[in-house]
Structure 1
Amino acid sequence: MKRREVLAMLAASALVEVTEVATSEAQAAQAPFTDEVELAKPNTTGSVTLEDAIQRRRSVRSFKPEPLPIESIGQLFWAGQGITNPDNGRRAAPSAGALYALELYAVTATQVLHYLPQGHRVETRDSADLRPKLRSLAVDQASVGNAPLVIAVAADPGRLKQRYGGRANLYADLEVGHATQNILLQAVTLGLGAVTVGAVDGPKASRALKLPQAQTIVYLIPVGVPA
């Protein structure tokens, strides 16, 4: 066999391998959630004032291992993206043009949860513990691996591009900040600690959680009872 034919066969084989990997990753990114849970009605009459929550908010990186109850997870989700006006669907955090470029996910030792603002629900998928993987993708920050709950804030700027063009990415990032601060303050009112982690490989983290390809994780928020 001539050298040119060998090289052509090797190139074709490499192309097939790359295509198979890409296809596999795309299929993994679209893995469906299997169960849906209606969350308890969010508490809107807490005993901690906004001013007190602002005063007390600090980054917490050490947590007790005890899992968080689903009621607390639901309250955190609601603070970030919950619907606060059923008449028009407006949410707890502002969004450019009310187009809502964000999706909230949470990772526990046994599940991945995806928040559904309509109806205040979560869809869940049983999973091996992905926190060590997320930790490795977040420059080995211990809080990501040790927190009983890691909230992942994912953005899809494409939802904003038709209206805002080149500013879509900026507006999506601003929206991430709005929602994240709400979650941090809500954590304080629940007696929980939290910290924001921006040093994360978003595309790889998104694939690890098997998110839709249009969504990229921008922020991780480890949450738990302070140690």
Structure 2
Amino acid sequence: MKRRELLAVLAAAALAEVTAAQADESPAHYTDEVALPKPNAAGTVSLEEAIARRRSVRRFKPDPLPVETIGQLFWAGQGVTSPDGKRAAPSAGALYALELYAVSAAQVMHYLPHEHRAATRVTPDLRPELKALALGQASVGAAPVVIVVAAEPARLSPRYGARAQVYADLEAGHAAQSILLQAAALGLGAVPVGAVDGAPAARKLALPHGQSVVYLIPVGMPA
């Protein structure tokens, strides 16, 4: 191959890499929106029993979770629970720095708390790549659904300044525990995974600029 042709090939390859990287960093476009079944606010398992049941479960059956189950987990983490818009998990100044997503084999769902709906988009299976960004933890790749807790600290910055990141992380912990207790009450297995490379995971999921992944919560029927 002549030098000029080789340079042209290399330039085209470099452009393709840049384009791919830019596409990977662009916020995702959700193509559909679905109403989630009304959450159940009167379960048969007491809070005390759910606390006693909660254990980290890392092995799951492959059975997909019904949409009403995913909706219930979303609601436990960020659902609106009062007429004035307050949510299930506390937030500094009620500014709500979190966003919840559910990643399955064929799609990503983004929870919309005020409507109890989910925006959806069809994707390749992103769980193996999330697993790689979580130090190869098998539970992330094995669970039928991975709940993603993402934070956008900038929502808190105007009021709390440098403390915004700390408060966003605390908020993520509150929401994650609610999701884990809800999973226990539903007879599901779940495990909180904090060892995740947050910014690359956000890019892989094509989250909006400013959001970073704080927690991954693999969920499913225990194996």
2:190/2:220 contact within 8 Å kept: yes
Name the residue aligned to 2:38. Answer: 41
1:147/1:223 contact within 8 Å kept: yes
TM-score normalised by the chain length of structure 2: 0.91
1:99-138 superposed matches below 5 A: 99-138=95-134
Name the residue aligned to 1:192. Answer: 188
Gaps of 5+ in 2: 1-6
Displacement of 1:207 after TM fit?
A: 0.8
| Residue deviations 1:21-45 (CA, integer Å, cap 9, x gap) | 3894366431210000001110001
Q: 2:203 aligns with which of 204, 207, 215?
A: 207
Sequence identity percentage: 67
Q: 1:73 aligns with which of 49, 70, 75?
A: 70
1:25/1:207 contact within 8 Å kept: no
Displacement of 1:184 after TM fit?
A: 0.1
2:24/2:203 contact within 8 Å kept: no
Superposition RMSD in Å: 1.9
Aligned residue identity for 1:129: D
With over 3 angstroms needed to count, the CA separation of the structure-2 counterparts of 1:193 and 1:115, relative to structure 1, is same
| Residue deviations 1:83-141 (CA, integer Å, cap 9, x gap) | 001x2100000000000000000100000000000110000000000000000110000
Structure 1 CA distance for aligned equivalents of residues 159 and 199 of structure 2: 25
1:110/1:128 contact within 8 Å kept: yes
Structure 1 CA distance for aligned equivalents of residues 211 and 69 of structure 2: 25
Aligned residue identity for 2:49: D
Gaps of 5+ in 1: 1-9
Q: 2:18 aligns with which of 17, 21, 25?
A: 21
Aligned residue identity for 1:160: L
With over 3 angstroms needed to count, the CA separation of the structure-2 counterparts of 1:96 and 1:211, relative to structure 1, is same
Aligned residues: 213
Structure 1 CA distance for aligned equivalents of residues 164 and 202 of structure 2: 20
Q: Which stretch of structure 1 is more off in the superposition, 70-79 or 20-29?
A: 20-29
Question: After the TM superposition, which parts of structure 1 deviate over 2 Å for at least 4 consecutive aligned residues?
Answer: 20-29
1:26/1:213 contact within 8 Å kept: no
With over 3 angstroms needed to count, the CA separation of the structure-2 counterparts of 1:22 and 1:100, relative to structure 1, is farther
| Residue deviations 1:117-170 (CA, integer Å, cap 9, x gap) | 011000000000000000011000000000000001000000000000010000
